[in-house]
């Protein structure tokens, strides 16, 4: 019996409290909000929660027929005890909105990721569809207690699944800056260095951070981070055009446009300071970096100098040309 000493016993105790609460009949909507808040608080909480769910998912995966009362007679048989497990499944939650399922409710822990310039669509077994943009990494935990997705990096568009006549557990996107709970929705989530950007296309999501709780409805967007005290909901201009292979810039500084397009390509780009902030508007093909640069050269007073194929500089247009 080795106890893992570097596990934080205080956090584990809290996880145990949450599991017991979720399993009891007393769980309320307020508790779920508190859980979201707790998860939003720090990474140690999220990691411990994820680990606990991994273990519970494995128990849930035990075949129905692994059956027996003998688990309880183990100790009577001394050292060579026989392990058998009772027939019923690990029916963890019977919360307000979860009904107990008698059948096997398969849960899946999975990792999905995309390389630079790659995009990919994943359908989860509850019918939810996740579209991954370039350089994205997610893990998912789906069981009877939760449908949860960790966004570790990048950008995803989620269309949550619905099963006819069945109540599914809440769908959460867990990020380093807060938790986004889907309220029957389609929405886009992007992780940047500064924080998280969420754009809602259908219905609404509930965003919980350490300092705030906000509803974001269809046609709205929100940028938030764990440090922000009062993030503000904005009108959504154009949602998730990356799904069509496009990026739309509306009066965007040149360097930001290049940064944005750079997410899809292995390129090192230097931009001359005098032109960094030229305002650019237009619709650009995210997969055609060279073409986009040629287009920019035509319409703006800039030139592109290729140092190597991968390394280039954007400079002001030479006066005589």
Partner 1 sequence: MICITVVAMSIVQQNFDGIYLDNRSWLASWLCKKVGCAELAADISQDTFIRLLTNKNNARAIENKPRALLTHIAKGLVIDHWRRKDVEQAYLSAISHASEHEVVGPEHKYIVIETLMRLDKALSQLPTLTRKIFLLAQLDGYKYKDIAQQFDIAEITVKRHMKKAFIACLMLD
Pairing mode, if any, of strands 147-153 and 171-174?
Answer: parallel
Task: Select the residue interacting with partner 1 from 42, 43, 44, 66 (CB under 8 A).
Answer: 66
Can you say whether the dihedral through the CA atoms of 148, 151, 152, 156 is positive or negative? positive
Burial of residue 121 (number of CB atoms within 10 Å: 0-12, 13-18, 19+)? exposed
Judged by CB under 8 A, which stretch of 85-93, 200-208, 212-220, 260-268 contacts partner 1?
85-93
Contact 120, 101 (CB under 8 A): no
Q: Which is nearer to partner 1, 13 or 111 (CB)?
A: 13
CA–CA gap between residue 127 and residue 147 (Å, rounded): 11
Of the candidate spans 3-11, 185-193, 207-215, 237-245, the one that interacts with partner 1 by CB under 8 A turns out to be 3-11
Q: What is the largest CA-CA distance in the chain?
A: 95
Sketch the per residue contact string, 14 through 53, with partner 1: x for CB under 8 A, - otherwise: -xxx-xx--xxx----------------------x--xx-
Minimum separation from the CB atom of position 104 to partner 1 (A): 9
Using the rule CB under 8 A, is 7 a contact of partner 1?
A: yes
- In order, the DSSP letters of 112-159 are EE--TT--EEEE-TTS-EEEE-SS-EEEEEESSS-EEEEEEESEEEEE
Q: Which stretch binds partner 1 (CB under 8 A): 57-65, 128-136, 201-209, 266-274?
A: 57-65
Q: Using the rule CB under 8 A, is 58 a contact of partner 1? A: yes
Question: x-or-dash pattern for partner 1, window 99-128, by CB under 8 A?
Answer: -x----------------------------
C-alpha to C-alpha distance for 191 and 198, rounded to whole angstroms: 9
Site stretch for partner 1 (CB under 8 A), options 73-81, 112-120, 121-129, 221-229: 73-81
DSSP run (H or E) holding 200 = strand 196-208
Residues from 146 through 175 that contact partner 1 (CB under 8 A): none
Does residue 299 belong to the site contacting partner 1 (CB under 8 A)?
no
The reply on whether position 10 binds partner 1 by CB under 8 A is: no
Quick one: which of 86, 129, 241, 249 contacts partner 1 (CB under 8 A)? 86
Is 87 one of the binding residues for partner 1 (CB under 8 A)?
yes
Q: How many residues bind partner 1 (CB under 8 A)?
A: 51
Whole-number minimum distance, CB 77 to partner 1, in Å? 9
**Closest by alpha carbon to 145, among 24, 302, 266?**
24
Query: 12 or 313, CB closer to partner 1?
Result: 12
| SS3 state of residue 212 | coil
Q: Do residues 303 and 277 make contact, with C-beta atoms less than 8 angstroms apart?
A: no
d(CA 287, CA 295) in angstroms, rounded, equals 14
19 token code pair: 């599991």
- Binding interface with partner 1 (CB under 8 A): 1-4, 7, 9, 12-13, 15-17, 19-20, 23-25, 48, 51-52, 55, 58-59, 61-68, 70-72, 74-75, 79-92, 94, 100
């Amino acid at each position: 019996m080795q106890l893992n000493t570097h596990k934080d016993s205080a956090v584990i105790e809290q996880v145990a409290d949450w599991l017991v609460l979720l399993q009891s009949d007393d769980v309320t909507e307020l508790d779920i909000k508190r859980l979201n808040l707790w998860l939003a608080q720090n990474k140690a909480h999220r990691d411990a929660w994820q680990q606990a769910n991994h273990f519970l998912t494995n128990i849930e995966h035990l075949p129905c027929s692994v059956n027996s009362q003998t688990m309880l007679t183990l100790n009577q048989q001394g050292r060579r005890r026989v392990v058998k497990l009772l027939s019923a499944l690990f029916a963890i939650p019977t919360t307000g909105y979860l009904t107990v399922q008698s059948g096997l409710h398969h849960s899946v822990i999975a990792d999905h990721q995309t390389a630079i310039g790659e995009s990919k669509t994943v359908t989860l077994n509850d019918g939810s569809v996740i579209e991954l943009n370039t350089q994205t990494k997610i893990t998912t935990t789906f069981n009877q207690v939760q449908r949860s997705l960790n966004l570790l990096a990048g950008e995803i568009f989620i269309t949550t699944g619905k099963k006819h006549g069945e109540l599914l557990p809440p769908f959460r996107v867990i990020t380093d800056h807060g938790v986004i709970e889907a309220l029957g929705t389609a929405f886009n989530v992007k992780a940047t260095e500064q924080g998280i950007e969420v754009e809602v296309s259908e219905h609404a999501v509930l965003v919980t951070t350490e300092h705030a709780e906000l509803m974001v409805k269809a046609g709205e967007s929100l940028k938030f981070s764990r440090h922000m005290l009062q993030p503000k909901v904005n009108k959504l201009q154009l949602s998730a055009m990356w799904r069509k292979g496009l990026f739309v810039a509306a009066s965007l500084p040149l360097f930001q446009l290049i940064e944005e397009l750079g997410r899809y390509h292995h390129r090192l780009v230097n931009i001359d300071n005098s032109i960094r902030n030229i305002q650019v508007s237009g619709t650009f093909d995210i997969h055609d970096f060279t073409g986009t640069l040629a287009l920019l050269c035509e319409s703006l007073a800039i030139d592109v100098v290729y140092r190597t194929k991968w390394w280039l500089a954007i400079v002001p247009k030479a006066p005589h040309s």
